Structure 1
Amino acid sequence: MSSVISQRSSLAFLVITVLTFLAASSAPTPLYQVYQDHLHFSAAMLTAIFGVYAVSLLAALLTVGSLSDYLGRKPVIFVALLLNIVAMLLFIVADSTSYLLAARALQGFATGTATAVLSATLLDTDRVRGPMLNSLAPMLGMASGGLGSGLLVEFAPWPTQLIYYTLLGLMVLQALYVWCLPETVSRIPGALKSLAPTLHVPPQARRALWLAMPLNVAVWALGGFFSSLAPSLVRVATGSTSHLIGGGLVAVVTLSGAVMIYSLRDHAAERVMRLSAALLTVGVGLLLVAVNTASLWLFFVASVIAGLGFGGGFMGSVRSIVGLALPHERAGLMSAFYVLSYLAFCVPALLAGNLSRVFGLIATTDGYGAVLILLSLGALVGLLMRDSAQARASA
């Protein structure tokens, strides 16, 4: 009985910690307009503040992403929490763009460190529910961070500080509790060597990873766009100045994704990916209609449909690869998966931010959406062709 309770407690702690990291990552999104108004910086600086987070996160995944396979899970989780605690303190005292850049850079490295180790620890703790929780928790975290921050900005005092005080308190408690977890891997030699920037994908997982990439790229590129440019897009397309709408759109996409993940948790990964590719195509198409007709209600409808594709595509991609790694390969595999995912998250969004200064945000959104639709349709065709080939082979 005690082992069951211990496992449940560990799962609950790990899920809450993933929620906290991802909530912190999306909390600045509704605040970008506030920072711009108060600190008077350009759109180029806004893009830099978004971009430095993604670059430092990728640096963490490439260097310390597999470190917990060698040192153990608990010390790496603890260090990631300490780094994010310092980032929250920097956000709280931020009175210039230098503070914001430093906070986002440190937060990105902390989140990159935590992403791989927490994903691996969830799989170590529960092989059955781990893949579903690995997909569900980030969605709920991003939703709670975006929506919670938007609500506090709109209705609460200290709009640029209260959300960070809340997250800071949670992280301090988690840093204390992490040492109560059971360690799930033993220490092995090679920790220093593992810090050399590399992507470690076990040979048996490589084909599945590349087959999942087209849909996964589309999913994360959509997430990057919503996290960086959605508030500005709503303002330009509809004239709305509410800070809650930008955070609300992020929440709608991620909550819809969470619903999709939970609803289809028992379905085969390939089936989930096919359905998600179709939903993403429809959702992005409707989003382009909403942008060009200035329809706020259609923005939210399109975000729900695209969010279903977002969540399903993410879960299907994760589930198609996680069972293919051995225990001491899991953090490395998840690190490689997230490196590719976050490249798709940040590079297209950064490119869109720069192109919007030349062509305007609406025209840039049209082009961005067209690329996402092509990627989704390509993924759907590829999945159907693979299924057809497998059916012929087994006939």
Structure 2
Amino acid sequence: MVGDRQGWLRCLLAGAVFVVGMTGTTLPTPLYPLYQEKFGFSELTVTVVYAVYAFGVIGVLLLAGNASDTVGRRPTLLWGLGFAAASAICFLSADALGWLYAGRLLSGLSAGLFTGAATAYVMDLAPPGGQSRATLVATAANMGGLGCGPLLAGLLAEYAPEPLLLPFAVHLALVIVSAVVLLRLPETVREPRPLTAVRPQRPALPAQVRPVFVPAATASFAGFALFGVFTSVSPAFLARYLHVDNHAVSGLIVALAFFASTAGQLAVDRFGVSRSLPLGCAVLLAGLAFLAGALSAELLVLVVLAAVVGGAGQGLSFRAALSAIAAAAPVERRAAVISTLFVVAYTGISIPVIGVGLLSGPLGLEQAGLVFTGCMLLLVASAATYVLRRPVRTGVHEG
């Protein structure tokens, strides 16, 4: 039917905009060693620059997490693209460290607006009966975009001129094209209200959610922490200890973690939510064990396995956690409870990563990574034990 084809075209175009928005958030990943050479800063500074992004995301989640429901999807996403463009301009102008902090903060604000609004928009635009496929499009666009960032930057940095400029110039051009596409798509919020109607969204944790929230949030924290370490310091580890100086290779390895996360999220439909959370924890444990082995033995194959297995475990456990918490939360407080989970998850991207940076000075990057891995192994093992003793009851259909 013509209507269905038009609906899917709009849905896929919104997904493409989603990909562009998320690509910018991971674009600097394989470039951090080059910035270290240019500005002469330490691993600690790398991790802080990286973590500033998470603070931007958390700020948006708390202050404007429901913005697209209030002012509309398109205005929210246009603001997100505006922050993405401003971030790219900061990196293009970077002649001092402060530009990197500004660029990462703006990137976090963009991601905070995009994550919820673009997911809802993709699902809004799908034809009737297409919600399941639209969820797949949104999931693939989100994690696929995150994976495309390091891959694109790594390829351009390795095989094209101006490695610290061209990736951001290309992304800026893609953002402009995305804005044009977005302006041609329809608004799906029926009665948008002015920006002044947006209210801060307090985190919430009702009593009936807490038994599910504890293991779900613990696993989410550890999974996002693994992503944080991978996307901040793995290029430096690859270059310094494994002599992998090819930026395309380091970008590809980081991208594999995000692509594997997409596969892990899709696998929840096969295993069901209640089984996916403990299974995700087990896979995440294996990924962390591979990371520990990679740090100890300095083997590239173990780094790749850590990316793929750890990414799959993160995707499996996080989508199961999100589904379980959404099912357990009262309808009228569901959005606030989900925001609480995201705040915990993005705290996982920031605090442990900065911890690795702090320890890398006195201990070295390898030993700091091993301390991090040991702590995350304890967290994930605790979450898995809790879930096995008290199985999650979701109240949703298990596939």
Task: Using the TM superposition, give the Cα deviation of residue 201 of structure 1 relative to its aligned residue in structure 2, in angstroms.
Answer: 6.8
Task: Using the TM superposition, give the Cα deviation of residue 220 of structure 1 relative to its aligned residue in structure 2, in angstroms.
Answer: 0.5
Distance (Å, rounded) in 1 between the aligned partners of 2:310 and 2:300:
15
Residue of structure 1 aligned with 2:242, choices 224, 231, 238? 238
Q: Please name the residue that 1:55 is paired with.
A: 55
Task: Using the TM superposition, give the Cα deviation of residue 213 of structure 1 relative to its aligned residue in structure 2, in angstroms.
Answer: 1.1
Deviations, residues 331-377 of structure 1 (Å, cap 9, x unaligned)? 65554432221111111111211121122211111111112212222
Deviations, residues 246-273 of structure 1 (Å, cap 9, x unaligned)? 3222112122222333344343122222
Q: Please name the residue that 2:68 is paired with.
A: 68
Q: After TM superposition, list the pairs within 5 Å mapping 1:200-211 onto structure 2.
A: 208-211=212-215
Residue of structure 2 aligned with 1:147, choices 141, 145, 151? 151
Tell whether the 8 Å contact from 2:274 to 2:393 is kept in structure 1 after alignment: no
Q: After TM superposition, list the pairs within 5 Å mapping 1:117-136 onto structure 2.
A: 117-125=117-125, 127-136=131-140
* 1:158 alignment partner, SS class: coil
Q: What 5-or-longer segments of structure 1 have no aligned partner?
A: 391-395
Q: After TM superposition, list the pairs within 5 Å mapping 1:34-45 onto structure 2.
A: 34-45=34-45
Residue of structure 1 aligned with 2:218, choices 187, 211, 214? 214
Q: Please name the residue that 2:302 is paired with.
A: 298
Q: Please name the residue that 1:108 is paired with.
A: 108
Q: After TM superposition, list the pairs within 5 Å mapping 1:139-288 onto structure 2.
A: 139-187=143-191, 192=196, 194-196=198-200, 198-199=202-203, 208-288=212-292
Is 1:371 matched up with 2:375? Answer: yes
Deviates more, 1:191-200 or 1:98-107: 191-200
Is 1:348 matched up with 2:349? Answer: no
- With over 3 angstroms needed to count, the CA separation of the structure-2 counterparts of 1:229 and 1:45, relative to structure 1, is same
Task: Using the TM superposition, give the Cα deviation of residue 134 of structure 1 relative to its aligned residue in structure 2, in angstroms.
Answer: 4.1
Q: What's the TM-score once normalised by structure 1's chain length?
A: 0.88
* 1:112 alignment partner, SS class: helix
Tell whether the 8 Å contact from 1:70 to 1:190 is kept in structure 2 after alignment: yes
Deviations, residues 149-202 of structure 1 (Å, cap 9, x unaligned)? 111111111211222122212211221222333333333769646433622678
- With over 3 angstroms needed to count, the CA separation of the structure-2 counterparts of 1:328 and 1:52, relative to structure 1, is same
Q: What's the TM-score once normalised by structure 2's chain length?
A: 0.87
Tell whether the 8 Å contact from 2:202 to 2:336 is kept in structure 1 after alignment: no
Deviates more, 1:139-148 or 1:187-196: 187-196
- With over 3 angstroms needed to count, the CA separation of the structure-2 counterparts of 1:35 and 1:301, relative to structure 1, is same
Q: Please name the residue that 1:393 is paired with.
A: none
Tell whether the 8 Å contact from 2:212 to 2:392 is kept in structure 1 after alignment: no
Is 1:25 matched up with 2:29? Answer: no
Superposed CA RMSD? 2.9
* 2:132 alignment partner, SS class: coil
Q: Please name the residue that 2:93 is paired with.
A: 93
Instruction: Kindly provide the amino acid, as one letter, of the partner of residue 345 in structure 1.
Output: I
Distance (Å, rounded) in 2 between the aligned partners of 1:330 and 1:185:
19
* 2:188 alignment partner, SS class: coil
Deviates more, 1:315-324 or 1:96-105: 315-324
- With over 3 angstroms needed to count, the CA separation of the structure-2 counterparts of 1:328 and 1:184, relative to structure 1, is farther
Distance (Å, rounded) in 1 between the aligned partners of 2:142 and 2:150:
12
Distance (Å, rounded) in 2 between the aligned partners of 1:190 and 1:269:
38
Q: What 5-or-longer segments of structure 2 have no aligned partner?
A: 395-399
* 1:298 alignment partner, SS class: helix
Q: How many residues align?
A: 390
Q: Please name the residue that 1:84 is paired with.
A: 84
Task: Using the TM superposition, give the Cα deviation of residue 324 of structure 1 relative to its aligned residue in structure 2, in angstroms.
Answer: 7.0
Distance (Å, rounded) in 1 between the aligned partners of 2:14 and 2:204:
24
Distance (Å, rounded) in 1 between the aligned partners of 2:38 and 2:60:
31
Deviates more, 1:321-330 or 1:18-27: 321-330
Residue of structure 2 aligned with 1:317, choices 309, 316, 321? 321
Is 1:380 matched up with 2:391? Answer: no
Deviations, residues 102-134 of structure 1 (Å, cap 9, x unaligned)? 222212112112222123334444542344444
Deviations, residues 63-113 of structure 1 (Å, cap 9, x unaligned)? 111122222222111111112112212222322212222222212112112
Is 1:138 matched up with 2:142? Answer: yes
Task: Using the TM superposition, give the Cα deviation of residue 215 of structure 1 relative to its aligned residue in structure 2, in angstroms.
Answer: 1.4
Distance (Å, rounded) in 1 between the aligned partners of 2:192 and 2:332:
9
- With over 3 angstroms needed to count, the CA separation of the structure-2 counterparts of 1:302 and 1:219, relative to structure 1, is same
- With over 3 angstroms needed to count, the CA separation of the structure-2 counterparts of 1:388 and 1:98, relative to structure 1, is closer
Distance (Å, rounded) in 1 between the aligned partners of 2:333 and 2:9:
24
Task: Using the TM superposition, give the Cα deviation of residue 238 of structure 1 relative to its aligned residue in structure 2, in angstroms.
Answer: 2.4
Deviates more, 1:45-54 or 1:158-167: 45-54
